[in-house]
């Protein structure tokens, strides 16, 4: 079967660094996306990985290991506005345009 | 830029009623998707389309229908509303290219009573 696992909830302090993990088992792999979703709002795109390694975008970085079926999103210098859910999504085999989403990780940033 | 527009934003239906959730995008994207999101959960794919005239089922298609007569519009139809269909519905679109992210509408919050 196809499955994506993420921790349900995490808490961190303003100014700190937090790592949100995502493990996946899918039939084929054609890229992994991270989205941020504030409560009551639509998801917005954060990052994309298709090759092994780290992609950095300002305070946000995302890492991928295809052999381990593992990714993480790293958030640095946490701000209160980073309190949101973070969704991991995998695009399946080449030729398919479907995405499988994890259940999301709710991050609470405390002052 | 309007992006992806969904209407209505909120709706309450009675069991057995029908309705259509509207979705339109002005970015000329080929791919369009309908998801549902239950409280505290991720997104479940209902239906998707790779272009006008082409649609396919996702993970949870039962109780829903779609059509894609134009590139811009991708309406979702509920024929006989059931309480299990109470959810937030998101429409999304993306352009060609494996590294292209999805762009989401603001969602429709639907309650079936």
Going residue by residue through chain B, which has 113 residues, state the pLDDT in tens, using 9 for 90 and above. 679 999 999 999 999 999 999 999 999 999 999 999 998 888 999 999 999 999 999 989 999 999 999 999 999 999 899 999 999 999 999 998 878 899 999 999 999 99
Note the pLDDT tens digit of each residue in A44-55.
Answer: 999 999 999 999
What local confidence, expressed as pLDDT, does residue A108 receive? 97
Q: Does A30 touch chain B (CB under 8 A)?
A: yes
Q: What are phi and psi of B107, to 5 degrees?
A: 95, 155
Q: What are phi and psi of A17, to 5 degrees?
A: -115, 140
**Mean pLDDT of all residues in A65-92:** 96
The CA distance from B35 to A99, in Å, is: 10
Burial of B61 (0-12, 13-18, 19+ CB in 10 A): middle
DSSP H helices in chain B: none
Judge if the upstream peptide bond of residue A92 is cis by omega within 30 degrees of 0: no
Mutate to test the interface with B, among A41, A48, A95, A97 (most CBs of B within 10 A): A97
Token pair for B108: 């429709």
Q: Do B99 and A48 make contact, defined as CB atoms within 8 angstroms? A: yes
The CA distance from A102 to A90, in Å, is: 9
DSSP tag of B48:
E
Q: Do A43 and B90 make contact, defined as CB atoms within 8 angstroms? A: yes
The CA distance from B104 to A42, in Å, is: 6
Q: Which residues of A are less than 8 Å from B31 in CB distance?
A: 97
Can you tell me which residue has the tokens 């039962």? B62
The CA distance from A111 to B23, in Å, is: 39
What local confidence, expressed as pLDDT, does residue A95 receive? 64
User: Vertex A20, ends A109 and B88: CA angle to 5°?
Assistant: 75
Q: How many CB atoms lie within 10 A of CB B19?
A: 16
The CA distance from B35 to B42, in Å, is: 9
DSSP tag of B84:
G
């Amino acid at each position: 079967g196809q499955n994506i696992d993420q921790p349900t909830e995490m808490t961190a302090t303003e100014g700190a660094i937090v790592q949100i993990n995502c493990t996946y088992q899918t039939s084929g792999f054609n890229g992994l996306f991270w989205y941020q979703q504030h409560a009551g709002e639509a998801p917005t795109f954060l990052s994309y990985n298709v090759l092994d390694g780290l992609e950095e975008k300002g305070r946000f970085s995302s890492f991928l290991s295809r052999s381990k079926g593992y990714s993480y999103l790293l958030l640095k210098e946490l701000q209160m506005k980073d309190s949101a859910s973070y969704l991991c999504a995998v695009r399946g085999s080449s030729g398919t345009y479907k995405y499988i989403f994890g259940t999301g990780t709710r991050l609470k940033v405390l002052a | 830029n309007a992006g992806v527009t969904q209407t209505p934003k909120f709706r309450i239906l009675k069991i057995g009623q029908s309705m259509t959730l509207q979705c339109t995008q002005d970015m000329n994207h080929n791919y369009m998707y309908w998801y549902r999101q239950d409280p505290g959960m991720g997104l479940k794919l209902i239906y998707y389309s790779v272009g006008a005239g082409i649609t396919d089922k996702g993970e949870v298609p039962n109780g829903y229908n779609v059509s894609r007569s134009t590139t811009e519009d991708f309406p979702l139809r509920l024929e006989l509303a059931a309480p299990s269909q109470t959810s937030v519905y998101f429409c999304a679109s993306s352009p060609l290219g494996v590294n292209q992210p999805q762009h989401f509408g603001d969602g429709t919050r639907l309650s079936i009573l």
